[in-house]
Structure formats: C-alpha cells, structure tokens
Amino acid sequence: MSGVWGNKLKISIFGESHGVGIGVVINGLPTGFEVDWDEVLVEMARRAPGQNDLTTPRKESDLPEVLSGLFEGKTTGAPLTAIIRNQDTRSKDYSQLKNIMRPGQADYPGHVRYGGHNDHRGSGHFSGRITAPLVFAGAICKQLLAEKGIMIGSHIKSIGTIQDISFNETTVTKEQLEKFKTEQLPVFNEAKAEEMKQLILAAKQEGDSVGGTVECMVLGLEAGYGNPFFDSIESTLAHLMFSVPAVKGIEFGTGFAITELFGSQSNDAYYYEGDQIKTATNHNGGIIGGISNGMPIVFRAAVKPPASITKKQQTINISEKKDAELVIEGRHDPCIVPRVLPVIEAVTAIGILDLML
C-alpha cells in the first residue's frame, strides 16, 4: 500500500481502524513555526465520532500524541510525527466480514489486491478513520496559511435532495467561514439544516444511509499560485479529494453547469477595485489555466452514502464461493457529510500549502 503524498510537503499516513493506532508523518514544514495546539484540537473534535445522534456512537477522543518534530511548541525541521491511539474498538462486530463482502465497501477489491492479508476489521486501512491523521496535518497547514491571510472553510451544500445556497450566490467573509466550524450542520439557510437533520435521522431509523455534497472555499489566496497541466490547483486538489474515502466527484466554480453557458457568460470579466484586480463572476472557481487568479477558490465534493447499513443486502461469501445475504452489525454513520467537512478542508490546506512552499 502507498501512504505517501506530496512534493515539497510530504504526508505519510499509517495505521488501521482497529489496530493500536493511526497516525501521520509530515515532512517539509517550515522550522520555528509555533503550533496553536488548542486550534488543532478544535479541528480534531469536528471530525471525531460519537458526538451526536447523527454520527456513529463509537467513542474516540482523537487526541494526537506528537512523537517528533515539535519542541517547546515549535516545529524543529525534523519530520513531525503524531499517533492517535484507538480506544473504542469492537472487532467482533466484523468477524463475519472476513469472507462476506460488504456491497459498496472496499472488502472485495481490497481482498483481491492484497491477497486477503489486509486487516478487514472496521475496514482496516481503507477506513474513514484514517482521515483523522489528515485532519491533524491539515490543522497545522491551516495555521501556516492563516499567517499569509488565507482561510479555508466549508458548508454542507446538500444532503440527499435538500439543497443549501452556494458560496457563489452570496458574499462570504472569514467570519462566516469561522462560524460554520461551530455548527452541527453548517448551512446558509438554517431552515435547511433542520430538513437535513430529519432526513439523516429517517435514514438511520430505516437502517439506511444518505449522502450529500460539501462546498469548500479558499479565501485570501493571491493570484499566481499553481501550474498548468499536472500540478494545476485543480489536479492537486482533485488528487487529494479522491484520497478521502466516499468522495465520488468534484467540480470547481460553476462546475458541470458551465457547459450550459455561452462563452460570453462563462468568462469571468476582470475589473479594477482600486488597485485590486477582481472578476465580476466566479464561474471558474478562482482558477484559470491551473493557476489562482485572486478570486476565492470554490469547489464542491460529492460524498456517497455510507456503505455500511443494517438493511439486508445481497452479496457473496468468498470462502464458500456462493451468493449470500448480509445484515451488517456494528456502529456506523447514517451520513458522513457533517464529519467529512474538516477532512475536505484539511486536504485542501495540505494541497494549497504544498503549491505555495
């Protein structure tokens, strides 16, 4: 398995969902940077399980333990290594899943790819639990970006068919992005939050699950970062988004709907506001030719419904080589969209910082 990503900033993740722990090694951080530990813990808490009735009841504190790379609160230049020890595991819930393949999960392709040697408990290294180390790394990257006036935030654009308004439809401030971090279901239209909550609870009651979309914004990034082709902002962020389990799509700016516009409409016209260059619209999501143009970077990521549901499903038993029925036990999220927000922000921060270093 490959667990390494990055160019100037290199991230290496390790661990399994029901192993001793999970963690990350970060290479390439600037030295002498003072880490705000309280802010790191805020980000970790946003992703942590077991916080309310919309998430899995699995209880994990997700407190990172730094093993190297931080001395007297500042980065030393050595690889920053952190481990998050697993505490609330119930591996017996997964005993039948060694041979019975869960639909929608990585059980079958993972079994084939690794010859059946991968840890299947709680999905092992395929688990969304491994995103906790990414949030830790992203929390530090966010702080480094904040020193340059750059802020990353997100909101729930949709749950099922329930839609919130888009970033491009309103003026967004850093205060608004900060406020979103404190909300259980961060949306612009608060009436939609209650509708989304009821849909998630209804799916949970039925033993089912529901997906949605996350809309993310990078505010304050100046023009001139990124490259054409292979290291464009879009390709960098897309690579990282698809490294987050359950993400099945991404679109920037107006996205696929830009195909419905004429060029005269989709082109973002430039204008001067004092000495600042801005665009009248942001159909291209703040990126042209793979390079930032100074406008907010806006994109949406599609998050599929969690595959582990308690409804009876048709599948296969690979040891007996026959069809089977499956009712999944254990503790699972009926919707991971609320918990994936800090993950999307984290990998965005990692990608943007790597392009800036």
Q: Is 334 annotated as a binding residue?
A: no
| Cβ neighbours for 167, distance < 8 A, ≥ 6 positions apart | 155, 215, 217, 296, 298
Does the annotation flag 307 for ligand binding?
A: yes
Asked whether residue 127 is marked as a ligand-binding residue, the answer is yes
- Does 243 show up as a binding residue in the annotation? no
Written as six digits, the tokens of 205 are: 């009651």
Tokens for 103? Answer: 């639909």
Phi, psi of 247 (to 5 degrees): -80, 125
Residue 132 CB coordination number (10 Å): 28
Is residue 291 within 8 A of residue 280, CB to CB? The reply is no
Please give, one letter per residue, the 3-state secondary structure of 147-192.
CCCCEEEEEEEEECCEECCCHHHCCCCHHHHHHHCCCCCCCCCHHH
351 is in an annotated binding site: no
Whether 125 has a binding-site annotation, put simply, is yes
Known binder of ligand: residue 46?
no
103 is in an annotated binding site: no
**Amino acid, single-letter form, for residue 261:** L
Rounded CA-CA distance 337/214 in Å is 7
Which amino acid type is present at position 283?
H
Known binding residue 305? Answer is yes
Own/partner contacts of 91-100, CB < 8 Å, gap of 24 or more, are 91/18, 91/121, 91/122, 93/329, 93/330, 93/331, 94/18, 94/120, 94/121, 94/122, 94/330, 97/328, 98/319, 99/317, 99/318, 99/319, 99/320, 100/315, 100/316, 100/317, 100/318, 100/324, 100/326
Binding residue positions for FMN: 125-127, 289, 304-308, 331
Binding residue positions for NADP(+): 47
Binding residue positions: 47, 125-127, 289, 304-308, 331
